[in-house]
A and B are shown apart, each in its own frame.
Chain A
Amino acid sequence: MMSLAVLRLVAVTHAAAICLQPILAGVYLNGTGGAQRIHEPVGLAVAAVATIQLLVATIWWRSGGRLTAPLVSLLVLIGESVQIGMGYSRELALHLPLGIALVGAVVGFAVWTRRQQAASS
């Protein structure tokens, strides 16, 4: 089905983008201030992709897919919103562990979509 193929593409893009974030954060902590100027827009872009993912996941669910997809996408979007807020307010005690949880969830979701079967219609 078309919507599952799109969901897989969005999920993989989402996963690739979010994997940049710990690298950029590490480069920044090494003393390269420029990395933080990339970390910020990438973070905002990741949340934008999460919104698109929620939309596509909902379309897939309504056309015979699974409810898990929009539910996880919604939780990830909420998590990323909190993450952005914690990043701007320098609440690193929450920003670091939440960031790792989000990387795990987004990568895990991308793998999960690869294992879903397109509903026969």
Chain B
Amino acid sequence: MTTKVLRPRASLWTLRITLLLHAGLVVAQPILAGYFLSGEVDAMDAHGPIGSTLWVISMLQFVAALFYWLAGGGRLWPMLVTAVLFVAEFVQLTYGYLQNFAVHVPLGTAIVVTVVWMTVWSFRPAARRGRKEPSR
């Protein structure tokens, strides 16, 4: 008979909600930066505080990914990628305040692409499968 395989459900939804919040905020950043560079100086009043908060979201996402891996039986890599994101967002925040754009602009691009890609992945069937199952 088939044995019951552990599949993430509640932990996956927690991860998805965190990712949606993360993606929403991270996507706002280049838009706000673009408005700022176009001369709308007020846009920085939102860009700065959001950027200063993103690494906290990454911490929450790390906890969600930990539960997804341990309690939910999901894969390990979302937790590892989130750890990298946490460091990257901290570096990004530092270079933003230093106004070193040669790092800030490309690193920001990489962060946005990574977070959006993870969010899309979390809603695909692969995210629902437990790590003990064949990945097809």
Contact = CB atoms under 8 A, between A and B. Distances in A.
Contacts of A19: 106
A97 B117 contact: no
B104 interface: yes
Interface string B78-119: 000000000000000000000011111110110011001100
Contacts of B38: 90-93
Instruction: Give chain A's interface secondary structure class.
Output: helix
Interface string A86-121: 000011111111011001100110000000000000
Contacts of B117: 104, 108
A27 interface: yes
B30 A26 contact: no
A16 interface: no
Contacts of B104: 26
A100 B102 contact: no
B109 A95 contact: no
Instruction: Give chain B's interface secondary structure class.
Output: helix
Interface residues of A, number: 23
Interface in B53-73: none
A108 B116 CA distance: 11
Contact of B31 (A27, A93, A107): A93
B102 A23 contact: yes
A70 to B, nearest CB: 21
20 contacts: A19-B106, A22-B108, A23-B106, A25-B101, A26-B101, A26-B102, A29-B105, A30-B100, A92-B34, A93-B40, A94-B34, A95-B34, A96-B37, A97-B27, A97-B34, A99-B30, A99-B109, A100-B109, A104-B117, A107-B113
